Amino acid sequence: MKTPWLSLTLLIATSTVARADLTLVQDTLLNGVRSRTTMWVKGDKMRTDNDTTSTVILDAATGDMTTLVHEQKMIIVNNTKQLAELAAQAAGAKPVELSETKLTATGQIEKVDGYDCEIVLSENQGMVVKMWIAKDDPNGDLLREELKGLSKLAAPGAAKTPEVPGIALKTEYEQQGLKFTTQLVSIHSGPVSASQFEIPSGYKAP
């Protein structure tokens, strides 16, 4: 299930290049069970940890996406660029028109962690995500510019995302009949060690 990718992607606006390393932490609530996702970004590389169960490392330059399943010490490698090419071939080599996300401002204001947030609805292919967008975060302008650089790390074929007017502190959506609530715990810029993107010893392909 691609829940962490979806909810973290909702923090991202579009175009430009990240100028600093980033670390993001968010909690997801599903049926009363809370889990934590941490993302590290350094240059063209992004690592996402889902609690302690799995890790996904993406290299935007090469398209390599490596999944680490920690309990089994298993490694699964895919290439997003190759997968996109195969999808294009299956479609008859015709250009694939990417779906576009529609944003609707509701005009409603609610507080999240002490910040005034405007509720914005994001809709793509029938899926609606409710977002609480903070516009008065004192670090918002800086972080928003850096987050825009994450758009280049999205897998080919990802939905076109319009620029979000702020930082999404909270989201709610349903997927496969399940309701997810996510909330941003922390986000900051600062040095991220290159070792975060190395494959641990002892991990093997199935």
User: How far does CA 16 lie from the centroid of its chain?
Assistant: 17
Backbone angles phi, psi at 102, to 5 degrees: -105, 130
Share of the chain above pLDDT 90, in %: 31
**Following CA atoms 12, 167, 108, 120 in sequence, which dihedral angle do they give, to the nearest 10 degrees?**
0
User: Which residue, 139, 141, 131, 132, is CA-closest to 113?
Assistant: 132
Average pLDDT, the chain: 77
pTM above 0.95, yes or no: no
User: DSSP assignment of 140-174, as one string?
Assistant: HHHHHHHHHGGGGGSPTTPPB-PPPSSEEEEEEEE
What is the arithmetic mean of pLDDT over 177-185?
89
Residue with more model confidence, 45 or 11: 45
For 68-127, write each residue's pLDDT tens digit. Answer: 999 999 999 988 777 767 766 666 655 555 567 888 999 999 999 888 999 999 888 888
What is the arithmetic mean of pLDDT over 122-134?
87
Phi-psi region of 71 (alpha: psi -120 to 50; beta: other; left: phi over 0): alpha
Residue with more model confidence, 201 or 176: 201
Phi-psi region of 93 (alpha: psi -120 to 50; beta: other; left: phi over 0): left
User: Which residue, 39, 78, 50, 69, is CA-closest to 156?
Assistant: 78
Query: pLDDT band for position 181 (50/70/90)?
Result: very high
Output helix, strand, coil percentages for the chain, rounded to the nearest 5: 15, 45, 35
**Is pLDDT at 4 greater than 90 in this prediction?**
no
DSSP letter (8 states) at residue 197: G
Residue with more model confidence, 17 or 59: 59
Cβ atoms within 10 A of the Cβ of 144, count? 19
